[in-house]
Amino acid sequence: MSAVEAGGVFRRARGRTLDAFPSEKEREWKGPFYFIQGADPQFGLMKAWSTGNCDSGGDEWGQEIRLTEQAVQAVNKLKPRPRFFVLCGDLIHAMPGTPWRKEQTADLQRVLARVDSDIPLVLVSGNHDLGNAPTPETVAEFQRTWGDDYFSFWVGGVLCLVLNSQFWYDASRCPALKQAQDQWLDQQLSIAGQRECQHAIVFQHIPLFLQSIDEDDDYFNLTKSVRREVADKLVRADRVHTVRASNSSMLLVTPPRQLPDPLKGPPRASLRFLHGGHTRGPWKEGSSTRSNNCLGWEMAWSCQQRGRVAEVTRRQWSSRGKTRARPVLQGRPPGVTAVFSGHYHRNAGGTYQNLDMVVSSAIGCQLGQDTHGLRVVVVTAEKIVHRYYSLDELSEKGIEDDLMGLMKEK
């Protein structure tokens, strides 16, 4: 029986979700937590890189075994426990159909089987796992070996989306699979909006971009047109925002760019009241609450302003810009707030609107000046804070006090 079949940490994603996190228990926000992100153990690349032939499968991977063992030991030592350990692709170096693939896979599974069973592993597919131009066969092989290539799960009120970025790189040999993921992603993003998750985050192998949404195309990013389309989809400029008044709900149907100033109130026809399961409205300025069957709006209303929920009292509402106090901004930006990736073998990243594009260096081969390492990601009610640690640093010192402090915040 292989390590995968033996179960334990290899609770493979199935049916587009991960049973380590039952969604009925995990939908509610219960307070700050953290997880560990790693990328590119890529068993075999260090040897292939040293010989100048990265197209070969890499016929030795002893160094990567030791580094990944060190990573696993460091993760197992952490207190409190991370909620999960995600590996953002390029698990091994040998491409589908090339020598050493089976051996590299078996060795990685043996090492990962030592992750403590109470720290679920989340596995993301990379170009070396699926091939640069994946086919239905290579995707099926990944699913048999590691689990679904894309799936979602809830953890502590946060919706996590694991994506197959290879479909955005080259889907010429599997167009139907790409289309299926695109449709599934649209559904997930709409679920994220309706259920008001605390945050929505994405894990994928290839970064959308390394520093900036406008940077040139490169081996290590997605092409300009694809990245813009995906990024816009993730930040969901067209999402229907659900906001709440005190005893009713409103659906704000304007895209964020056209959101009203909370001090001036919503523009006419931009709000629909949702009450008792059906929509009312459009809201008319000056109309009574009772005629709209929404009894709470006189006391308070909220509207999403630049991705934040602004509570505005009646006085602020009626004073029309003469308000003395600014509304308190709270809540989360709309859409996905962070994308975690690998592939670059260096640390990098940038922002696009409210989206934090995080590029983490490798557990295995480094192509820049970074150390072999892992990223600690702390999720609080308000924000997602992350820091990259060398494997030595993380095993010796654990997580720094300021990150631990964030987790104690209520």
Q: Candidates 46-54, 86-94, 130-138, 306-314 — which segment interacts with Zn ion by CB under 5 A?
A: 86-94
Q: How far is the CB of 126 from Zn ion (least distance, A)?
A: 5
Q: Do residues 48 and 151 lie in contact, with contact meaning Cβ atoms separated by under 8 Å?
A: no
Q: Which of residues 328-347 bind Zn ion (CB under 5 A)?
A: 343
Which residue number, 39 or 243, has a Cβ lying nearer to Zn ion?
A: 39
Q: What's the 3-state SS for 95-114?
A: CCCCCCHHHHHHHHHHHHCC
Q: Are 357 and 342 in contact (CB under 8 A)?
A: no
**Nearest to Zn ion of 251, 367 (CB atom):** 367
Query: Considering only CA atoms, which of 399, 256, 226 is closest in space to residue 331?
Result: 256
Interface characters, 33-72, with Zn ion (x: CB under 5 A):
----------------------------------------
Nearest CB to Zn ion, comparing residues 127 and 145: 127
**Could you tell me how many residues of this chain bind Zn ion (CB under 5 A)?**
4
Please state the closest distance from residue 402 (CB atom) to Zn ion, in A.
Answer: 32
Q: Which residue's CB is nearer to Zn ion, number 231 or number 362? A: 362
Select the span of 68-76, 118-126, 312-320, 333-341 touching Zn ion (CB under 5 A).
Answer: 118-126
Sheet holding 308-313, edge to edge: 300-305, 308-313, 328-330
Nearest one of 137, 65, 77, 71 to 108, comparing CA atoms: 65
Q: In terms of CB distance, is 157 or 342 closer to Zn ion?
A: 342
With CB under 5 A as the contact rule, the residue among 44, 82, 126, 207 that binds Zn ion is: 126
CA distance 54 to 236: 38
Closer residue to Zn ion (CB): 42 or 248: 42
Q: How far is the CB of 342 from Zn ion (least distance, A)?
A: 7
Minimum CB–partner distance for residue 128 and Zn ion (Å): 6
Nearer to Zn ion, 58 or 126 (CB): 126
Contacting residue, 90, 107, 148, 149, with Zn ion by CB under 5 A: 90
367 exposed, middle or buried (CB, 10 Å; 0-12, 13-18, 19+)?
A: middle
* Shortest Cβ 341–Zn ion spacing (Å): 9
- Residue 172: CB atoms within 10 Å: 9
CB of 205 to Zn ion, least distance (A): 6
* 87 vs 65: CA distance, rounded Å: 15
Q: According to CB under 5 A, which one of 127, 181, 270, 302 is a site residue for Zn ion?
A: 127
For residues 144 and 140, give the distance between their C-alpha atoms in angstroms, rounded to a whole number: 6
DSSP state of 58: -
Cα(181)–Cα(367) distance, integer angstroms: 31
Quote the least distance from Cβ 166 to Zn ion, whole Å.
9
Query: Do residues 396 and 368 touch, judged by C-beta distance below 8 A?
Result: no
Q: By the criterion CB under 5 A, which residues form the site for Zn ion?
A: 90, 126-127, 343
